């Protein structure tokens, strides 16, 4: 299982939100590139980077910073999202070294867009499904749709997406524990990897996630916990490696 540190960019700075509220931000670093370097140096194998301004505006706003991070760390996998609504934006990100683009709002509002870009950019498309009170949210989590998470995830699986990121918005930025039950339910309904997001607090959450990795939870995104210190990223990465080795040995 991959443990993926989040770098959320707003007004050019590294921030975290509470429950997706753009007015509830905490600034952690004025230099997102330096923040990325810190997480890479402790052992992160992939970075989760979101252009929060782009997610709201519907177009990339902090793309230059994401480009800088990708160029600074060419050997690290990067999944990036926020305001990605057309093929030109996807091509630009892939050209500078981003490995996966995350499609959120447009995946829900224009589902055929996903099938089109999966054909054009095979192996590089991840869909982000963000749920609040059981309903999918769009436009930087400012609007709710009526789509069922599992139904739409199964559709995107058929379209050829590489993975699904499932975020429980109610827990995001709250460090109130991961929604293991719903994440596993989603993972069991598809064969593509599911990446859990929202609510990680400490090593107990990491243990809980590793215990269900075999159900299809291929990764987890952590944000506020590593910024506020309730979770030491290096310790967590080491724990994931240790638990994965044990599980591999038990399954051999």
| CA distance linking residue 104 with residue 11, whole number of Å | 20
Active site residue 205: no
The encoded tokens of residue 114 equal: 């996903």
Burial of 251 (C-beta count, 10 Å sphere; 0-12/13-18/19+): exposed
Active site residue 148: no
List Cβ neighbours of 60 (8 Å cut-off, separation of 6 or more): 51, 54, 66, 82, 83, 84, 89
Q: Which of 8, 51, 53, 205 is catalytic?
A: 8
The secondary structure of the chain in percent helix, strand, coil, rounded to multiples of 5, reads: 40, 25, 30
Burial of 101 (C-beta count, 10 Å sphere; 0-12/13-18/19+): buried
Q: Which of 51, 53, 130, 159 is catalytic?
A: 130
Active site residues per annotation? 8, 130
């Amino acid at each position: 299982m991959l443990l993926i540190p989040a770098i959320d960019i707003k007004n050019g700075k590294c921030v975290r939100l509470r429950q997706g509220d753009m007015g509830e931000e905490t600034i952690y670093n004025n230099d997102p590139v330096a923040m990325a370097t810190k997480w890479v140096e402790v052992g992160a194998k992939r970075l989760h980077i979101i252009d929060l301004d782009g997610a709201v505006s519907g177009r990339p706003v902090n793309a230059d910073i994401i480009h800088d991070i990708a160029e600074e760390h060419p050997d690290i996998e990067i999944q990036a999202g926020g305001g990605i609504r057309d093929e030109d934006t996807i091509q630009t990100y892939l050209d500078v070294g981003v490995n996966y683009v995350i499609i959120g709002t447009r995946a829900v509002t224009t589902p055929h867009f996903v099938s089109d870009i999966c054909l054009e950019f095979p192996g590089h498309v991840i869909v982000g499904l963000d749920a609040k009170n059981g309903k999918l949210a769009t436009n930087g989590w400012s609007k709710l749709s009526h789509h069922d998470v599992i139904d739409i995830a199964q559709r995107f699986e058929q379209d050829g997406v590489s993975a699904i990121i499932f975020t429980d918005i109610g827990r995001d930025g709250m460090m109130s524990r991961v929604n293991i039950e719903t994440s596993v339910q989603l993972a069991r309904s598809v064969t593509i990897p599911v990446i859990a997001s929202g609510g990680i607090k400490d090593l107990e959450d990491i243990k809980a996630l590793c215990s269900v990795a075999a159900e299809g939870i291929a990764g987890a995104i952590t944000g506020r916990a590593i910024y506020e210190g309730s979770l030491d990223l290096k310790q967590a990465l080491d724990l994931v490696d240790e638990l994965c080795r044990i599980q591999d040995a038990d399954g051999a």
